[in-house]
Amino acid sequence: MSKPSIPKGTRDFAPQVMARRQWIFDTIRSSFARRGFQAIETPALENLSTLTGKYGEEGDQLIFKVLNNGDFLAKADGQVLDERDSKRLAFQISKKALRYDLTVPFARFVAMHRNELQLPFKRYQIQTVWRGDRPGRGRYQEFTQCDADIIGSEGLLNELELVELFHEALGDLGLPGVRIHMNDRRILAGFAASCGVSERLTDLTVAIDKFDKVGIEGVLRELETQSFSSEVQAAAGQLFAIKGAGTDAMVELEKTFDHPLISAGLADMRQLWNWAAQRGISSPELVFSPGLARGLDYYTGAIFEVRIEDSPVGSVCGGGRYADLTGIFGWKGVSGVGISFGADRIYDVLEHFDAFPDAAACATDVLVMHMGDATLDASLDAAARLRSSGRVVEMYPDSAKLKKQFKYADDRGIAWAVVIGEDEWASKKLTLRNMRTSEQLTLELEEAIKRLC
Amino acid sequence: MSKPSIPKGTRDFAPQVMARRQWIFDTIRSSFARRGFQAIETPALENLSTLTGKYGEEGDQLIFKVLNNGDFLAKADGQVLDERDSKRLAFQISKKALRYDLTVPFARFVAMHRNELQLPFKRYQIQTVWRGDRPGRGRYQEFTQCDADIIGSEGLLNELELVELFHEALGDLGLPGVRIHMNDRRILAGFAASCGVSERLTDLTVAIDKFDKVGIEGVLRELETQSFSSEVQAAAGQLFAIKGAGTDAMVELEKTFDHPLISAGLADMRQLWNWAAQRGISSPELVFSPGLARGLDYYTGAIFEVRIEDSPVGSVCGGGRYADLTGIFGWKGVSGVGISFGADRIYDVLEHFDAFPDAAACATDVLVMHMGDATLDASLDAAARLRSSGRVVEMYPDSAKLKKQFKYADDRGIAWAVVIGEDEWASKKLTLRNMRTSEQLTLELEEAIKRLC
């Protein structure tokens, strides 16, 4: 029997951490729910064929494949086995795989259930995803995503709703220095077109997307490496040199670059900016970032990324509009827009700023002490009554020494102890002890309940 | 591109089902939390070595193994490959596996974190588990368990707390006909000893455990098949012939069989029965079932199983005391007691009795209609104000025909619609429409909010 351990990149969540995580999920969930987003869940196990080819070649390598049960080699190709070809064999011995994100399963869900859904369909989904990334600081093989999407509606009010969701949920979570960056993919497409490199939009986007990590010099180097001309590099320099963060930047962008796609993107950005401002969301919280790219291929309209000022992590949320997410599963032309909250990163930011509220703890309020058989019944009754008054109450389960029971209360951070001794119970009284101050009061039960309110 | 599907034995949860599931989990979670049980979570991916050998040979076959990423064949044994030995190869090409239950991961968690835990440690855990069982009606490869355990305490008050948990949680869930069956493993051990077959306790338990499915004839046949003597079969007949369901049955059991282990088990059963009765839990809800066995090997004291009268499913909850759960991971002699709620079966029972409450729905209360640009701002303000009054509110995101918007409200089961037309808004009024009765009122916003309270 070896010393127990867990796989690298996975985590146990002990009670204190778990209570904080639960509070984060509950807060995000409430924000989703009060706007009428409906929860769905999809299985952790998807058909491998559903996931393959959706995340690029690198992504395909990171999908966790599940070995077929039983004699899985029986159906494997002998030649592939003899050639020790892991890559090909994987698809012969595993039919199922673990969910890699929530977007592809959602698209699969929508395509499969299209006849049961009312459009526009607003859904949220808070579930675990798995990726075979090399584990590292803040990088896990198993983590939780919180996604909200609206599909079947092209109105820009959906984008506004998602900006409001960022604002409300991150506000409720008490995150300081929230910066909601927004851009429109058409602005990038127009930029590429005005540079004459429309056919290389993806390469251009990938290079531009690195700005956050490597700065303008890094982007220019990347463009150079990717053999983009010096004109394109100069244009990229101009793009990132645009000053301002709101309508001022939009004006400058329009002056610097001229293309119908840019105008179309800017019209939406202006409208969104004005609506948001009327709802109390504006600079510095809202930022128009014409260089914001977002790596994913499927975005076609507005894109979002939320960062936290002076925090050690990258973006905590992202999202955008996609013209055709479900097309890969046979239902074409359904436009949608969605966002994702990175709960693990939000946790790290709150911890960094020491900003978790008291509500995010798992505190038991009262420990009722075990004082022996004579008052056991009275103690159990008191515990039940205290619990029905809304407190979290534990009854110590063993007839142990008082010192041991008090130590348990201290170690657990329990604020109050109730002691029902035989003598005091003769006059229907109990002792209420404040575990922090050691102050003790002799009271009737109902008085004690009032004290605790 | 093939038609999308999901693996057999897995499920998508659409919004209505999801809301009901969420309500079940929240209800169980509340019951756990108000007694000071603390939530933990363990990773879905455990080391395969952690899980192997804990669930019997059959169980080992049903564990889903996860294929190592990268060139997994590079480290495989050539001979094993050449022999096409799936069983041995599995352990060479997969290091990780999916959680099969919550008990073994909990034991592993406790052993790993023993220095951080205060004993007694009360934890709950609500997470998905995976089993490669043949999928069938009510049998899934991916389902959710809700476990509560108390470890590091031998007091029988823990057993009482778990009986109270069954009573409270299943009561809060509105399950009719709850029957909490209880027994003590020492009674079965004493029964085996008094028949002279102590060394075959497990075989005997397995046979007796089938009573629920196959009746007394089936048990006797099984005992016959397992070469138990006719004396043992006769004794089993006597065991299941014991009448009554409470202290009466305990008296009869004691008269029929005589063994110190039986007396020890009965002493606890009596105490538990009396305590529970004082807390308002007694016959017919509480049932002493001296033939109750529970299949799992690790139980050593009290055992529980909850069934629902006249329902189509088997047991909905189970549990019991184990003397040494963490010993397999290197921490010996830590006694504990735990229970598990089968959320999927509870769902099926509630559906069977059509007993889901209205609270278990995901209803949007109000749809604010999109009446065009002139009153868009007023409509967004109204939606925000209604939302802050505590209602779930959606704003229709597109400037669509009224008919289409009303149809959406109807299809979604939304109770109220708010219409802000240009004319009425001139005098700061809006129309509040009851979608069920089609009744319409022209009101100021604050009046409408009062109406909806």
Say whether both B301 and B370 belong to one domain: no
Q: Band of the pLDDT at B239, cuts 50, 70, 90?
A: very high
Which of A293, A308, A323 delimits the end of a domain? A308
Residue of B41, B268, B335, B405 best to disrupt the A interface, most CBs of A under 10 A: B41
Does residue B32 lie within any of the structural domains?
Answer: no
Say whether both B389 and B275 belong to one domain: no
- Give tens-digit pLDDT for A333-380: 899 999 999 999 999 999 999 999 988 887 899 999 999 999 999 999
Say whether both B291 and B184 belong to one domain: yes
Q: Is B66 exposed, middle or buried (0-12, 13-18, 19+ CB in 10 A)?
A: buried
Say whether both A301 and A374 belong to one domain: no
Q: Which residue, A275, A287, A244, is CA-closest to A254?
A: A244
Which of A274, A308, A342 delimits the end of a domain? A308
Q: What are phi and psi of A209, to 5 degrees?
A: -60, -20
Q: What's the domain range around A277?
A: 178-308
Q: What are phi and psi of B142, to 5 degrees?
A: -140, 115
pLDDT at B297: 73
With tokens 């009719």, the residue in question is: B176
* A392 vs B contacts (CB less than 8 Å): 33-36
Rounded Cα distance between B273 and B256, Å, is 20
Under an 8 A CB cutoff, do A142 and B44 touch? Answer: yes
Does residue A410 lie within any of the structural domains?
Answer: yes
Does residue A280 lie within any of the structural domains?
Answer: yes
Flag whether pLDDT at B39 surpasses 60: yes
Tell me if B45 sits within 8 A of A142, measured CB to CB.
yes
Mean pLDDT over each residue of chain B, to the nearest integer = 94
The upper half-sphere exposure of residue A432, i.e. CA atoms within 13 Å in the direction of its Cβ, equals 20
Token pair of B217 as six digits: 């004839």
- Give tens-digit pLDDT for B386-433: 999 999 999 999 999 999 999 999 999 999 999 999 999 999 999 999
Say whether both B191 and B292 belong to one domain: yes
B64 DSSP assignment: P
Kindly report the pTM of this predicted structure: 0.94
Which segments of chain A have a pLDDT < 50?
Answer: none
Tell me if B202 sits within 8 A of B192, measured CB to CB.
no
pLDDT at A249: 96
- Give tens-digit pLDDT for B343-364: 999 999 999 999 999 888 878 9
Does residue B273 lie within any of the structural domains?
Answer: yes
Residue of B157, B411, B414 best to disrupt the A interface, most CBs of A under 10 A: B157
Angle B281-B283-B285 (CA atoms, 0-180°, nearest 5)? Answer: 65
Q: Band of the pLDDT at B244, cuts 50, 70, 90?
A: confident
Say whether both B194 and B296 belong to one domain: yes
Say whether both B189 and B270 belong to one domain: yes
- Give tens-digit pLDDT for A27-42: 999 999 999 999 999 9
* A49 vs B contacts (CB less than 8 Å): 2
Under an 8 A CB cutoff, do B18 and A39 touch? Answer: yes
Does residue A44 lie within any of the structural domains?
Answer: no
Residue B182 C-alpha, separation from nearest chain A C-alpha, in angstroms = 19
Q: How many structural domains comprise chain A?
A: 2
* B21 vs A contacts (CB less than 8 Å): 41
Flag whether pLDDT at B263 surpasses 80: yes
Q: Band of the pLDDT at B65, cuts 50, 70, 90?
A: very high
Residue A218 C-alpha, separation from nearest chain B C-alpha, in angstroms = 30
Say whether both A388 and A299 belong to one domain: no
Under an 8 A CB cutoff, do B86 and A98 touch? Answer: no
CATH number of the domain that residue A290 is part of: 3.30.930.10
* B34 vs A contacts (CB less than 8 Å): 387, 391-393
CATH number of the domain that residue B412 is part of: 3.40.50.800
Under an 8 A CB cutoff, do A45 and B11 touch? Answer: no
pLDDT at B2: 61
Say whether both B226 and B296 belong to one domain: yes
Say whether both A288 and A376 belong to one domain: no
Does residue B414 lie within any of the structural domains?
Answer: yes
Tell me if B406 sits within 8 A of B438, measured CB to CB.
no
pLDDT at A296: 66
Under an 8 A CB cutoff, do A69 and B61 touch? Answer: yes
Does residue A17 lie within any of the structural domains?
Answer: no
pLDDT at A378: 96
Say whether both B182 and B304 belong to one domain: yes
* B36 vs A contacts (CB less than 8 Å): 364, 392-394
Which of A262, A292, A308 delimits the end of a domain? A308
Residue A215 C-alpha, separation from nearest chain B C-alpha, in angstroms = 32
Does residue B393 lie within any of the structural domains?
Answer: yes
Q: What are phi and psi of A205, to 5 degrees?
A: -65, -45
Tell me if A392 sits within 8 A of A415, measured CB to CB.
no
Q: Which residue, A101, A119, A127, is CA-closest to B21?
A: A127
